[in-house]
Structure 1
Amino acid sequence: MNKYAYLLREIFECNTITQRDLAEKLSLSLGSVNSLIREAIALNYLNKNEHGLNITSKGLDYLSKFKVERAVIMAAGFGSRFVPLTFETPKGLLEVFGVRMIERQIEQLHEVGVFDIVIVVGYLKEHFEYLIDKYDVKLVYNPDYSSKNNISSLHYAYQYINNTNVYILSSDNWMRENMYHRYEPFSWYSSVYMEGSTSEWVLDFNKKREITEINIGGNDTYVMYGPVYFSKDFSSVFMPILEKAFHTPGSDDWYWENVLMRELKEKNSLLPAMHINPQPANQVYEFENLEELRAFDDKYKEKSGNVALELIAKVFNVSENHINGLRTLKSGMTNKSFLFEIDNKSYICRIPGKGTDVLIDRKHEYDCYMAIKDLNITEKIIYFDKESGYKISKFYDGSRNANPNDSIEMARCMELLRTLHEKHICVDHEFNIAERIDYYTKLCEDTGGISFHDVNIVHKNMVLLLDLLNEIKSKTCLCHIDSVADNFIITSDNKIKLIDWEYAGMAEPIIDIAMCAIYSYYDKSQADKLLKSYLQRDPSIDECKKLYAYMALSGYLWALWTVYKANVGEEFGEYSLKMYRYAKDFFKEVMKLQ
């Protein structure tokens, strides 16, 4: 620790500070502080007059190398523990006592003279754009925000951190008192003392308050909690190490703190010390979930301003404070869903995804649920809005998704589909795959085009398959269409439910088997077995043609679907490539049977 820099920093911020207060801030005895002041005066860093101590120009020159040059605020993540609020608003833009958390930090930085601020964005990145005009910040985009942990945010902000005196902050922290400074004498990590057992990241440190080891979990100890500061000498050594770690296979789930933990365990002597910066209780807040935010700010108990929570409160005739146990579920490709509890009973709320209003007719979905309600094969619907697509349904505790690699479970799923099809239930709308292909093609063309270079050839092949299907057409019935294994729910009492009927309509039954096969990434052999399981006999040549044709057409359809979603800002990784490959490969399989 640089004793002169620390002393000069405190006097710079308040030249009327008492020696007793200095002793407390510097964790030194009063006698030691007196000696340190005398040394600083002798070195011409300070002078003394009747009003107190003043820093000389030489003292300011000495301080200059400790000047904070910048702050980098990490704001790329989703904030899954704050659903459904974060479906609409990034966590850092949530308000606490009427002020957005990230804005409070920016204003605290401005108060101490730190104006060069970089915000690393990812999820809902457009929501942060206004900060450029309001606070003259820079935005850096992290394209890996959904697939990698916060090591990626520091990677993409590398040029703003390396060889720089810089704060590393999280957009969702809330500090009661301003803990930032114009000058920082050493690198540090904010810490609070936690009594009892904790699963937080625990800090071991020596008498100089230098962090010597980091472990996950401990008892009655200091833990990492809140802001961080990298001095120039620290960042210039640490950031190249972090870059190497970022490009190391298997590091996708790493926090940047994992890299620091590893370097400390390996006792990297080249890495300058990082110090613990203990904070008093109730100074730093890292809200873990909505319940903690409710306990802190009463606004969130009754009127969060969130559409989904307001809807749930209205449907169940309760205040928002009665909605508990909020947590995200695995996001679907079409919608977002979260789990919640009221009176110890669990439910799921579905929120329609971006762009789904042009993809799905919610009135048709509602009609399907009504048509099959007496079969008792779907989830129990509590609320369904035919206009918006919001849906509330019962959550089956102890339930799980069907396993597409378990032949016995898939046989049961096929039995459910067969039962559905044999009921010959009718609705007033169809799922016409030819019409859907034309429609999705137009959506793609209107929003940026289709990037597959041979799409014209593949499209012509799909037209050939449609002509073939017209020649061997069979009767239609209500089909689920979205028969992915994840939509088959096995309950705790071993019953099977088929959920999410938003694409359902009148179609040929084999399309459901084809959809299930491509969603499960089945090859030809697996698809053949699935069809045989559904039919409970060997399929005919025409039935095989239908299966392969629908696998090809469905693959093409969903490839177009993902292209459109990407054009409007939602990426699904390699899914489009896999679906497009089904279009090509299973067109060939049909041709082999001609």
Structure 2
Amino acid sequence: MERNAIILAAGKSDKFAPFTYEKPKGLFCVKGDVLIERQIEQLQEAGVMDIYVVVGYMKEKFFYLEQKYGVKLLVNNQFGKKGNLYSLYVARNYLKNTYICCADHYFPANPYLNDNPENLSYRACTYLSGKFREFAIDYSDAKVITGFNVGGRDGMAMVGHAYMNEGFSSVFRQFLENEINDFGVSDLFWEEFYAGHQRSLTFYMKEYQAGEIYEFENIDDLREFDSEFLMNVDSDIITNICNTLGCVPNDITDINAINAGLTNVSFSFQCGGEKYVYRHPGGTSGNLIDRTTELFAQEKAGKLGIDESVINMDLSGWKISHYIHNARNCNLEESDEQLETIMDYLHRIHSVDVASEKNVKVFDNVAEANKLMEMASMIKGNLKREFAVLIEKIDILYDAVRADAKRLGYGLVLCHNDVYEPNFIYDSEGKVYLVDWEYAGMNYAANDVGSIICRYDFADCQIERYFRAYIGHELTDDERRFYYAYIPISAYYFFCWGLYKGSIGENDGFFFLSSYRNMIRFIDVALESYGIVI
């Protein structure tokens, strides 16, 4: 009897960050073997030659498998939004006498050799002690699975692969096709979907002993199994850390992912008794960031005492920093001292001599915003037409502001261009840092103050407080006109930034709506201050 296999390899496996920033978990090298290659070879050794691999995250890294092993790849482009049931839906036409496998399983011995001569549909299970998060089962004396729970304690759990015979596959596929578009169904694990149809689908429990099947839950779990994993991981991240800190891979411990930032992802780690943070450039950061300018600004910030946490940074975007212990976000609304410190930091960076620096780019709010809107329009429709009146007003105001800057003698200075509270932190000793210099570039100083104000729904008195804190006195009429005009100009950039981020399915920022509100609130007032009425 001919059997085939479907290997599910579409997921991102966030628990294995940072290494999944570089490659999918199924391509990790464990005890000398690439996980998915080892499993393909075991299937083929057992005579299973018809193998389908469902890919999604970093799918291109799996492409070589077709040439190397003769497998067929199937693409699940919904991997970030759906459960692995959707991967089975993608592969539904190949469900026959089928092994259902996951790319990251590790079997010390080949479980497919001389397997299941009765051709029963089964789910691999093993006994787990203590509390566990795997799917727990109940089963009859005939070893038919009769009950299903998410998580359990001291019992049998679904661990490893499954096998569906042709009769089981036919019924399962019919349920799948009928229900995949029902609310919430496509978000499920396939085992949860099976559990909802348990009376119509008979799975036998096939027991494996501890050590016969490995499903690694996290990096520490994997390293416990393979102590040399970091030595063989083939990771630029590990190479960068070792070169910077003068360590070897096994010196790196206690790796913990930090919540992904707006253009990057980061993790903390221990090495030599010290704690550090590694920043890895995010997938869309190349569209938004000029790394040469960021590096220049970051180095200046370190020398000026604004952000002394950075140890090393590369033009590709990775960065290693000291971990700031007990770090908390500043609260400029409540702390005059912190506000004064941040404004002092802005004055320091605005005073940097950049006359001889040819590679420091100009950060043109409107030009950069327009590029973001154009990219967002590829997904969201004709945004230029939708916001045509607003864009016209911004263009007219921007021309007036630049002419005013020339008249007032305001030149371009090195700016942070992303100044707002999430980028102000202080440590256990009260030391304040202004971090994240990715959007740095030459701009008018007013933009750094405007970029704070435009992202919050501040009252007039709060706005005045920020401008006075930077300028150092009550605003003159010229200063008021110029600085207030930068609220809608800054807001336009961050509004377009939100449009772009939303168009690619990423977080559009808590300030997306506030930026729009501040454009509407200040654009006409700013134009009128220049004697322009539209």
Provide the TM-score with structure 1 as the length reference. Answer: 0.72
Distance 1:480 1:550 in 2: 12
Larger Rg: 1
Output the amino acid matched with 2:487: L
Name the amino acid aligned to 1:190.
Answer: A
1:282 aligns with one of 211, 231, 250? 211
CA deviation digits over 1:39-93, x for unaligned, max 9? Answer: xxxxxxxxxxxxxxxxxxxxxxxxx5xx53x322111112223333222221111
Tell me by how many angstroms 1:513 deviates: 4.4
- In the other structure, the counterpart of 1:191 is 125
Aligned 8 A contact 1:426 1:506 in 2: no
CA apart distance, 1:410 = 9.5
Moved more, 431-440 or 195-204: 431-440
Instruction: Tell me by how many angstroms 1:290 deviates.
Output: 3.2
* 2:531 alignment counterpart: none
SS at match of 1:71: strand
| Amino acid corresponding to residue 504 of structure 1 in structure 2 | A
- Give distance in 1, aligned partners of 2:438 and 2:46: 54
The reply to whether residue 84 of structure 1 matches residue 18 of structure 2 is: yes
Higher relative contact order (CA 8 A, sep 6+): 2
In the alignment, the residues of structure 1 paired with residue 201 and residue 287 of structure 2 have an alpha-carbon distance, to the nearest angstrom, of 56
**SS at 2:124's partner residue?**
strand
Distance 1:588 1:528, change over 3 A: closer
Aligned to 2:49: 115
| Cα distance change, pair 477–448 in 1 and its aligned pair in 2 (3 A) | closer
Matched residue, 2:399: 467
1:21 aligns with none
Residues 416 and 158 of structure 1: CA distance in aligned 2, closer, same or farther (over 3 Å): farther
Matched ranges for 1:115-154 at <5 A: 115-154=49-88
Q: Return the letter of the residue paired with 2:233.
A: S
One-letter amino acid of the counterpart of residue 591, structure 1? D
The 1:111–1:372 alpha-carbon spacing in structure 2 relative to 1, beyond 3 Å, is closer
Aligned partner of 2:484 among 531, 541, 544: 544
Distance between the aligned counterparts of 2:483 and 2:160, measured in 1?
62
Q: Residues 541, 462 of structure 1: CA spacing in aligned structure 2 closer, same or farther, 3 A cutoff?
A: closer
Distance 1:412 1:350 in 2: 29
Distance of 1:591 and 1:394 partners within structure 2:
45
Q: Corresponding residue for 1:437?
A: 367
1:377-434: per-residue Cα shift (whole Å, max 9, x none)? 435112233x4333111223443557xxx88479887555423234443241666343
- Is residue 405 of structure 2 the alignment partner of residue 479 of structure 1? no
Q: Quick one: structure 1 residues 260 and 350, their matched pair in 2 at CA, closer, same or farther if it must change by over 3 Å? A: same
The residue aligned with 2:345 is 420
d(CA) in 1 for partners of 2:332, 2:435: 20
Q: How much identity, in percent, do the aligned residues show?
A: 30
Unaligned runs of 5+ in 1: 1-63
Residue 317 of structure 2 is aligned to residue 389 of structure 1:
yes
Q: 1:421, 1:477 within 8 Å by CA — same for their partners in 2? A: no
Q: 1:178 aligns with which of 110, 129, 150?
A: 110
| Superposition deviation, residue 210 in structure 1 | 1.6
* Cα RMSD (Å): 4.0
Q: Compared with structure 1, are the counterparts of its residues 452 and 431 closer, same or farther at alpha carbon in structure 2 (3 Å cutoff)?
A: farther
Distance in 1 (CA, whole Å) between partners of 2:137 and 2:64 is: 37
> How has the CA–CA distance of structure 1 residues 182 and 310 changed in structure 2, closer, same or farther, with 3 Å as cutoff?
same
What is the match of residue 203 of structure 1? Answer: 137
Gaps of 5+ in 2: 529-534
Q: Residues of 1 paired with 2:184 and 2:324: CA distance?
A: 34
Cα displacement string for residues 328-387 of structure 1 (whole angstroms, at most 9, x for unaligned residues): 2222343332221114432111223457567544443333233333664435112233x4
Residue 124 of structure 1 deviates from its aligned partner by 0.6
Give the Cα–Cα distance (whole angstroms) in 2 for the partners of residues 530 and 252 of structure 1: 47
CA apart distance, 1:306: 1.1
Matching of residues 267-278 of structure 1 within 5 Å: 270-278=199-207
User: For residues 248 and 376 of structure 1, what CA distance do their matches in structure 2 show?
Assistant: 56
SS, match of residue 110 in structure 2: coil
How many pairs are equivalent? 505
Match of 2:255 among 317, 326, 346: 326
**Counterpart amino acid of 1:590?**
I
Q: Bigger CA drift: 191-200 or 351-360?
A: 351-360
Kindly state the Cα deviation for residue 97 of structure 1 after the two structures are TM-superposed: 3.6
Pick aligned residue for 1:350 from 279, 288, 291: 279
Instruction: Give 1:109 shift.
Output: 1.9
Code of the residue aligned with 1:331 in structure 2: it is A
Instruction: Go from structure 1 to structure 2 and tell me whether the alpha carbon gap of 1:187 and 1:450 turns closer, same or farther (over 3 Å shift).
Output: closer
Query: What is the rounded CA distance, in whole Å, between the counterparts of 2:111 and 2:424 in structure 1?
Result: 52
Per-residue deviation, residues 170-213 of structure 1 (Å, max 9, x unmatched): 10111122222486622222112223443433222121112222
* Structure 1 position 226, deviation (Å): 0.8
- Alignment match, 2:436: 500
C-alpha distance in 2, partners of 1:592/1:301? 59
TM-score calculated relative to the size of structure 2:
0.79
The alpha carbon displacement at 1:232 in A equals: 3.5
- What letter is aligned with 1:463? D
Structure-2 separation of matches of 1:119 and 1:158: 12
Q: What amino acid maps onto 2:81 in structure 1?
A: S
Change (3 A) 1:168 1:401: farther
